[in-house]
Structures are given as C-alpha cells and as structure tokens.
Structure 1
Amino acid sequence: MLLSHGGELSRATGPVARWTVEQVRALAPDDASRGAGSKLGAAGPWSGSGCDPSGAVWGLCEGGGRAPYRTVADTTGPAYTCSCPSRKSPCKHALGLLLLWASGESALPVGEVPDWAGAWLTERRERAEGKADQRAAGGAPAAGPADPEAARRRAERRAERITGGAQELEERLADLLRGGLAAAGQPGYAFWEETAARMVDAQAPGLAARVRELGAVPASGPGWPVRLLEECAMLHLLDSAWLGVDRLPGPLAATVRTRVGLTVPAEGPPVRDAWLVLAQYDIPDGRIVTRRIWLYGRETGRTALLLSFGAAGRSPGLALPVGTTLDAGLTFHPGTGRLRAELEGPAGAAEPGGTPPPGGTVAEAVGVYGAALREDPWLDAWPVTLREVIPVPSGDGWQLRDAADGAALPLAPAALSRPGLWKLAALSGGLPVTVFGECGHRGFDPYAAWPAEGGDDPASGPVPLI
C-alpha cells in the first residue's frame, strides 16, 4: 500500500544528510505509532536493510505473517511505502526503519537499492521529475473539461444557504440573550448541538465549529457567563460580517469567507525560500484529522502554515520532519493574515539542522498579536518566536518570563497537560531559551524550542514540544 504525501519533491542533487532521532519521531502520526516505531528502531527485527546517498532507505521487517513487510522510505520527500496493512503515514515500520537509519552510520549499510525497493523509488522520482518539467514548461496537468457557469451557480447556491444559516443563527442568539444565559449552564443543554447541526445543514462548517465551542464554555469554571457573552458577541460579529461581506475590503472579505467555512484557493506566484520546519501536529475533529505544519522562510522572514487532512482513520498525507530546512515554493491563500499556504513543486531535499528564527521579546509578541487582531477579530492566536525566555512555575500553571525585563506570558491551558512542558523545562534548566509557538488570548502555546546559548548547538534544530 502506497503511503506518501501529495507534495512531490525533486531528486537530491547530492548526498542526503542523516536526520536526527527527534526529527524522525516528530513524523509519527500519533503517540501509539511513535511508541510502536520506537520498538522497531533496533536492528533485531530487520533484514536486507540499507540506504544510499540519494536518500533511499529500505528494509525487511519481521511481522505476523510468513513473509516480512517490505518497507521503503524516500527521505527527499519524505515519502514512504510498506506492504503492511496500516493506513497510517508513516506506519510503525517506516518509523522504525528511519529511527534505525538516524541512529548512526553503522546502523544501516550503504549499498545498492534492491529491485523490490528500486521499482517504487524510480516510479516516484520519475513522477516528481515529470511534474517539475511540466511546471517549467508553464503547463499543468489537464483537469478535464470545466463548466464555469455551473461552478458559479453552485457557489451562489451555497452562499445562499450560508446566508440563511447566518440569519437563523442571529435569531437563535437573540432568543438566548433575551431569555438569559442561565439556561445555558444546565446539564444536558442541547441548544448548542442543535444549532451546530443547523449550521452544518447550511454548509457553514466554520459557524458550526464556533457554536460547538460555545457549548463547552459553561463547564469552563467560575466566570463562564462573562466568557459566554464575549464569545456570543464574536459569533454575532462574524454573522454580521458574512451578511455584509460584499461591502468589506477584499482581504477582510476573504478572511470572513474562510471563517464561515468557505475554501478560498491559494493565488499568486510561489514564494521561493529555504523553509525551516518549526512544528507539526495533528488536531482530531470528529471523523477528520487536520495536520498543521509551521514553516519559517530564511530569506523572506515569513511564517507559513501548511494544512493537510485525513479522513476515516487515515493519517494526513503531508509530513515534514521538524527541524529540517526545505528549499521550496509556497503559494499563499488570500486573507488578512496570509499565513496559510500550499506547497508547490519542485522542491529540494529536506536538509536537517537550522538556527531558530530571530524572535522577539514578550512585549513584542503581545504587540504582534494585537496588530493581527485589528485585521482579523476572530483570531485565537498568532505565531511568534520568543527569544531569551525562561519557563517558570506560576500559581497553578507556568509562564515564560523574559530574561531581560521580567515581562511574562502565561502558558495556554492546553500546554499544561502535554509532555512538551517538561521537555521545555528540562531544555531550559533555568537558563533562557528560544521558543516558537502561538500567542493568543488564552496564553502562549509552545510548539518547539532551542537551547540556551552555550548549550547544545541551536543549529542542530528545535526540540518538538507537541
């Protein structure tokens, strides 16, 4: 079964550098895969394994059947294939093989690619080169005949359904406020789920998601009525913006369309840069898993967000090792923030290592988030890099304190229950560190960190915290 992502990368022009163990572990689609892959990261279950300078890694892994599983990885993608029945990408066998490869040059011998692995590698790389040649010639794969008029009518019908849903949501919010918020705190209160279902029927998944979030506010502790009123006000603002979207400036209108759940395609020429992979993590949402990958452009100084999706138990296809640097082009989606982007080929091999982004102070991070809020009032958080901060306990939580002026940001509640918090504390050891994450109204959510000056080499890449 083929397990690879859609962003095809070009053949490496020189020897591919070996990844670190942490970078391989960051590729795991979930904790169970990470644990199972770690158990296969030793030479014991493997035979016929090897690697070559072009970035190919292969091996035969003992399994439950008579025949071993055939596992191949192309680290220039990265992409993976395995004969096991797993639907995860990468599967535990691919993770184990890459962990074995990352453990040192003596773990896997350099040799000639066997026929059973070479067939898949050749087909994958020829396909990538074919796409690159087509783009260089200014062409694109033919998508078949399109009917612009039919597409326009479909878009109009969906916009009408969303408008109807927004109007109904306004009426429901008015009824809720007219009757008082006390009923919203009753156990088993079904208002939110019913309202969310109505927004799904109206083809407005963004509105549905926000309504479901409101349902959790009454259980969030003391002061919930104030927070619920604030969130209802933000939802009312989004409704009103959609109902008047034709009168909004272009970037804000694109943001509103995205917030209600419409897909706004990427546009404009690709931005070519050496992109450092800062973080990768998955967010389950019912039957869909969303993978978020944060990148930083060395030359442009831009931060970018790649999204990929997996459905019905399948892992999202796109996977990039945290801490590697990728020479690639990104096409950005319109909107006020212009963070979300699409990976465009061809791209160079992902090379390990990279120093952190320049970063700023705690005060500057709060200022950046405030400026972003002026452009997008529904923004929960904004990506920032904090320089020279120290993680310290604070009451029932933790905070990141600026080593220079003592200003501090509390860590977001979501970060307090993750193992990454203890990784961050251990990496710091009471000394300043550089941390990348999202700064928002709930606090700072750390995703990756680099050691303090004088510690381990920051150029070796970040330590994933999520």
Structure 2
Amino acid sequence: MPPRWTVEQALALAPDASSATAGRKLATSGTWTSTGASPGAVWGLCAGSGTTPYQTVVDLTEPAFSCSCPSRKFPCKHALALLLRWAGGEVDEHGEPADFAATWLEARAARAARSAGRAEVRADRAPADPRAAGRRAEQREQRVSAGVAELERWLRDQVRTGVASADTAGYALTDPVAARLVDAQAPGLAAAVRRLASVAASGEGWPGRLLEELALVHLLTTAHGRIDELPEDLAATVRTRVGATVRTEDVLAGPPVRDRWDVLALRDSSDGRLTTRRVHLRGATTGRDALVLSFAGPGQALDVSLVPGTSLDADLHFYPGALPLRAVIGARHGEPGPLSAVAGSGVRAALDAWAHALAADPWTSDLPVVLGDVRVVPAPDGAPDGWLVADATGDALPLVPAPGLWTVLAVAGGDPVTLVGALTPRGVRAESVLADGAPVPA
C-alpha cells in the first residue's frame, strides 16, 4: 500500500470550499459500505437519495476519480469523503478491488496503453515540413513585431500626455491596445497592458506603481526589438513574456533533472475565464525549486496528480529561460512516498535569491521560497502590513495580507515553523506551513 495521506492532503484536492465542507460531513456519516483499499486505489459505495448507492473509486497513482453521482466537480464530495475516510484509517485494506472498481481501473489501464501506442505511431511518422514551419514562424514574428511597434507608440503617448487621469480611465485606456496585441499573437504583452488599468486603480501611491509597470513593459518591448543580440536564455525569456508558447513535447525533449521532488504547496487562482493551478516542488537532493502549472476553463478539471505532502522520484524538464522555474514532469520512478525532511533558508538568503532572479529575469513577479525556523510576529506600529515573518537572526519580511494568513498564525502559534510561499515585491505570500512534517495549506 502507498503511505496514507493526511486529511490536509485529501482536502487540498477539493475544487472549492463548499466541496471540502461537504466532503468532511459525508466522511463522518454512516452511509458508506463495501469500502476497501488496495495498492494504488480506494473504493466504496455511498448511499444517496436514490435506491442505488453511488460507486466511488480513486486511483491514487495520479490521482484520478470516478463516481456515479451526477456532480460535475472533480473530485466530487463522495471522492473527497472516501479519501478522508482512508486518511483517517477507516477503510480496510483488501487484496483485490471490488468489481465496479476493478472495471474502471482496468479501463483506465487500457486507455493508457492505447495512448502509449498512439504516441509510438506519432513518433514514427515523418516530421512536419521544416520549410512550412519556418514560414509560419516568420509570419508570426512579423505580426508580433507590428504589435510591439504599435505598443511602443502607445507608450510614448502615455509619457507625452501623462498618467494623471489613468486612475479614472479604467480599462477603456488599455483594452483597445491589448486587443490589438492579442490579434498580433502577443498575449503576454496584452496581459501586461491590461494589468496597467488595475494598477492605476490600486489606491494610494498608484502613480509610482503605474510608472514602474510602464517601465517594465517598455523594457520588454525594447528587449524584443533587440532579441537577436540577447543571450539565448534571455531571448527565450523575452519570447515567453511576449506570449510565445513552447510545446510540451519540446520541453520534454530537453535534459531531465531527476530527484526526489517534494510537493510543498498548491495554489489556485482564476481570472474569471481560466483557472490556474500552481504547484511548488523542491528537490530533496538538488534543493532546486520548480513550479508545475496546469490550466482549466469553466467546467474543466485541473490536474490533481500532485498532492501536497507527498514526494515523488521523477524526471523534471524545465522550460527554457534565464530563470528556469516552470517545469513538466516526465518519467516517474515508482509510487509517491512521504515528504522528505525539508530544510528552509533564512530571510537574507531568500532576498539574495530574489536579487538573482531579478537580475536574470527583470519581469519576475514572484519567486518560490521555503523559509525555515521563522516566527510570525506583529509588525511594529506604523508598519504598512500587520505581520512579519522573522528568522533567528532578526531579519524579517512582511507577510502579504490574505485569507490564509490566519491559518499561518494558528499553525505557528508563536513557535518557529517552516513557511512555504512566494516572495513578491510586497513581501511573502504564504502558501503552506509545515506542521509535523506535512504542509497545511495557507
């Protein structure tokens, strides 16, 4: 059997707070029958409003979920409840899955085998015409360059006319040029331009922040205009920031970094159209941080294969760039195991890493960090934020106000803790706290 998850690990998979609450409630009810667990799977029957109980199965290796209930959430409350019962030791271990569970697991294995076969067939096919691919790349570059040139004119207009009224202009100021950048296949620049409107409406001190953002956009357009003169890694960063995509297949073709990767934190964010899941990994041997991103549109499920509090022996392939952080998981070597002993750094080392990140990629907005042996303390009177995270030397950073801050305070309780988060220009955004070796989501 794989190691049992903690309650926190199970709840980290909940698609929203209401599902987590419903899963907790259902886990303690007496409606479960025929539950069991075997290496890599957990299953059970849960009585619902109808005469036929819901058949629920969880494949722990990814994980993946199946339930006969009508819910469109992944995982549903029944799958969450089943995982919570398993985490609490209330599911007996059996050698073989129940029939309904075995049928679903066998179908998954068959689909995986077919997918592997199709991948081999694709690999045997003749490569695409390189000349046609080159023409498409050249046409895209021409469109991007035209969009960048228009953006440069818009930036000069902002400098000439001033930004005094930007806080009242709203998105009417930025949407037209952002839309043209999307048409020019520069979605990264379009997002940066749209963000200017929210910066202008961010309250006291907005003019300074807006000028900083305008300067970064100007720096990006200048770098794109001289991209042929840049080092290869920095040129790759500029292309990515402008909006060029890198195929997953190309990333996987790069050199792997094999390690025992600890899954330390998971954070979801949404812009109303797309939900992004950001998972923070750290190599137990290399000490290297990595971010694995997945995306889902409305009604789609996010990747749930990385569970905070577990560790996996795997190959990671990093996207090209001057500051390689984003990665894709390649080959996995064995089943996930328990978390390693995670050692964090002090505040000064985190600031040094931030300085290095900005030198490599000036457009860095946050950096994954693990702060060890730190305390959460009240900020001095008059400080802009209410709480600081301080290490044993007395060096401190502000904690970014967020709903999860109260979880950090409750878990820390004034004692030294290991804090996992992201370093930003405003301070540290907490994402989890390690308690008894397991991450508690913040």
SS in 1 for 2:3: coil
Residue number in structure 1 paired with 2:439: 462
SS in 2 for 1:221: coil
Whether the aligned pair in 2 keeps the contact of 1:183 and 1:189 (CA below 8 Å) is no
Residue number in structure 2 paired with 1:330: 316
Residue number in structure 1 paired with 2:3: 17
Whether the aligned pair in 2 keeps the contact of 1:100 and 1:108 (CA below 8 Å) is no
Residue number in structure 2 paired with 1:77: 62
In the TM superposition, residue 45 of structure 1 has moved relative to its aligned partner by 2.8
In the TM superposition, residue 239 of structure 1 has moved relative to its aligned partner by 1.0
| C-alpha distance in 1 between matches for 2:139 and 2:71 | 40
In the TM superposition, residue 396 of structure 1 has moved relative to its aligned partner by 5.4
| C-alpha distance in 2 between matches for 1:64 and 1:205 | 47
Q: Which residue identity is paired with 2:142?
A: E
Residue number in structure 2 paired with 1:172: 154
| C-alpha distance in 2 between matches for 1:114 and 1:228 | 60
Residue number in structure 1 paired with 2:356: 371
SS in 2 for 1:294: strand
Number of residue-to-residue matches in the alignment: 433
Residue number in structure 1 paired with 2:83: 98
Change (3 A) 1:41 1:85: same
Change (3 A) 1:73 1:39: same
Q: Which residue identity is paired with 1:261?
A: G
Matched, 1:245 2:236: no
SS in 2 for 1:153: helix
Change (3 A) 1:148 1:69: farther
Whether the aligned pair in 2 keeps the contact of 1:306 and 1:342 (CA below 8 Å) is yes
SS in 1 for 2:33: strand
2:103 to 94, 102, 119: 119
| C-alpha distance in 1 between matches for 2:91 and 2:221 | 58
In the TM superposition, residue 89 of structure 1 has moved relative to its aligned partner by 2.5
Structure 1 residue ranges without an equivalent (≥5): 1-14, 452-456
Matched, 1:269 2:255: yes
Matched, 1:233 2:218: no
- Output one character per residue of 1:121-157: Cα deviation in whole Å (capped at 9) or x when no partner: 123345557888x89xxx8451655333333222222
2:340 to 325, 350, 354: 354
In the TM superposition, residue 194 of structure 1 has moved relative to its aligned partner by 2.1
SS in 2 for 1:186: helix
| C-alpha distance in 2 between matches for 1:388 and 1:141 | 52
In the TM superposition, residue 187 of structure 1 has moved relative to its aligned partner by 4.9
| C-alpha distance in 2 between matches for 1:382 and 1:24 | 26
Higher relative contact order (CA 8 A, sep 6+): 1
Residue number in structure 2 paired with 1:11: none
Single out whichever of 182-191 and 143-152 deviates more from structure 2.
Answer: 143-152
In the TM superposition, residue 107 of structure 1 has moved relative to its aligned partner by 3.9
- 5 Å-filtered alignment, 1:145-294, equals 146-188=128-170, 190-264=172-246, 265-266=250-251, 267-294=253-280
Whether the aligned pair in 2 keeps the contact of 1:308 and 1:318 (CA below 8 Å) is no
Matched, 1:442 2:419: no
| C-alpha distance in 2 between matches for 1:202 and 1:51 | 53
SS in 2 for 1:213: helix
| C-alpha distance in 2 between matches for 1:375 and 1:442 | 20
Residue number in structure 1 paired with 2:377: 392
RMSD between aligned alpha carbons? 2.3
SS in 2 for 1:203: coil
SS in 1 for 2:66: strand
Q: Which residue identity is paired with 1:373?
A: L
Single out whichever of 433-442 and 367-376 deviates more from structure 2.
Answer: 433-442
1:409 to 365, 388, 397: 397
Change (3 A) 1:80 1:302: same
Matched, 1:309 2:295: yes
Structure 2 residue ranges without an equivalent (≥5): none
| C-alpha distance in 2 between matches for 1:197 and 1:327 | 43
Whether the aligned pair in 1 keeps the contact of 2:168 and 2:201 (CA below 8 Å) is no
In the TM superposition, residue 371 of structure 1 has moved relative to its aligned partner by 0.9
SS in 1 for 2:97: coil
| C-alpha distance in 2 between matches for 1:376 and 1:122 | 46
Change (3 A) 1:210 1:315: same
In the TM superposition, residue 407 of structure 1 has moved relative to its aligned partner by 1.4
| C-alpha distance in 2 between matches for 1:200 and 1:66 | 52
Provide the TM-score with structure 1 as the length reference: 0.87
Residue number in structure 2 paired with 1:47: 33
| C-alpha distance in 1 between matches for 2:215 and 2:164 | 17
SS in 2 for 1:40: helix
In the TM superposition, residue 101 of structure 1 has moved relative to its aligned partner by 0.9
